Amino acid sequence: MVMRFIKLIVLVPVAVALVVLSVANRHLVTLALNPFRPDDQVLSFSVPLFILVFAALIIGVILGSFVTWFAQGRYRRQARSEAQEARKWREEAGKQRTRVEEITTRNLITASK
């Protein structure tokens, strides 16, 4: 519940700022992809500024997510390995517990005779 409230406190002002940014920056800007001849019409296009800003933010978030995911790969691999080892030891403990119970039962039966 607290995390939801904190997200709401953070996301609402961000959303308001993005809407204000969008409304205030509706004018067209030309993005030239040819650094040597910026007036070249083939490699340039005009779009509203807020679209470029949003596109940059989205691309940044996606790239950041991929970099983080790849950087944490070794930790995920280690966690999988340790989980597999824990499963193995849990099974071994279960087998040993069953074995001890069988021996205890056998000893109780022989002691009661």
Give CA–CA dist 10/21, Å, rounded: 17
In this prediction, residue 45 carries a pLDDT of: 87
Decide if pLDDT at 33 tops 80: yes
How high is the pLDDT of residue 113?
65
pLDDT tens-digit series, residues 84-103: 999 999 999 999 999 999 88
Do residues 48 and 26 make contact, with C-beta atoms less than 8 angstroms apart? yes
Most confident of 17-26, 35-44, 71-80: 71-80
Q: Dihedrals φ, ψ of 38, to 5°? A: -65, -20
Write down the pLDDT at residue 70: 94
Chain CA centroid to CA 90, Å: 30
The mean predicted confidence, pLDDT, of the chain is 89
Arithmetic mean of pLDDT, 9-26:
88
Q: What is the pLDDT at residue 34?
A: 85
**How far, in Å, are 17, 75, 98 from residue 91 at the CA level?**
55, 24, 11
Q: pLDDT band for position 75 (50/70/90)?
A: very high
Spatial separation of the C-alpha atoms in residues 28 and 32, rounded to whole Å: 13
CA 22 to chain centre: 27
- 3-state per-residue secondary structure call for 58-90: HHHHHHHHHHHHHHCHHHHHHHHHHHHHHHHHH
pLDDT of res. 23 = 87
Q: Which of 63-67, 80-84, 108-112 has the lowest mean pLDDT?
A: 108-112
